[in-house]
Structure 1
Amino acid sequence: MTDIIDPRPPLPEWILDAYDVICAHGTDPGNHEGAQSVPREQAREILLSADELALEPGDADHALTRLLERGYFYAVDDELRVTTPEH
């Protein structure tokens, strides 16, 4: 079921879990005028080291790509920034 408040298309649960792990462990809310951000390579390392996910390198790359494609993150140089949905 799609969340009516969140306009982003739904993703598989394991990719949403990856998003939650990155946001919880890797983002720095103090940078970039309040935008939460993390370097892409650091996000990948967070996913690979997260015991609750147990991802292979290809899975981590796929999750990051899908999160970018669906607008959960946007890229600035080598950094991923969290997209905040408008309400």
Structure 2
Amino acid sequence: MAEGLAVSGGKVMAAGPRDEIEALAGPDTRRVALDMRLAIPAFHEAHMHLLPFGLGLSMVNLRAEEVRTLEETRRRLRAAAEA
């Protein structure tokens, strides 16, 4: 997530860390403090599926394109069991 957003003429010009965005500001720049609230673009469908995401974090990646040998499969399973 971006800490800062620079907008000019109704268009987003930059997004990034607050200090980088502050460096772009001029003397007449209007600043809006969100006070830890979240700004979500109206044109973006931004819902999340947290449960599937969380379950995915607990899985062991054994996809064929990443695991090519039985030993690599065993190593990954061992590491997950020890975690």
Using structure 1 for the length normalisation, give the TM-score.
0.24
Which structure's relative contact order is higher, taking Cα pairs within 8 Å and 6+ residues apart? 1
Structure of greater Rg: 2
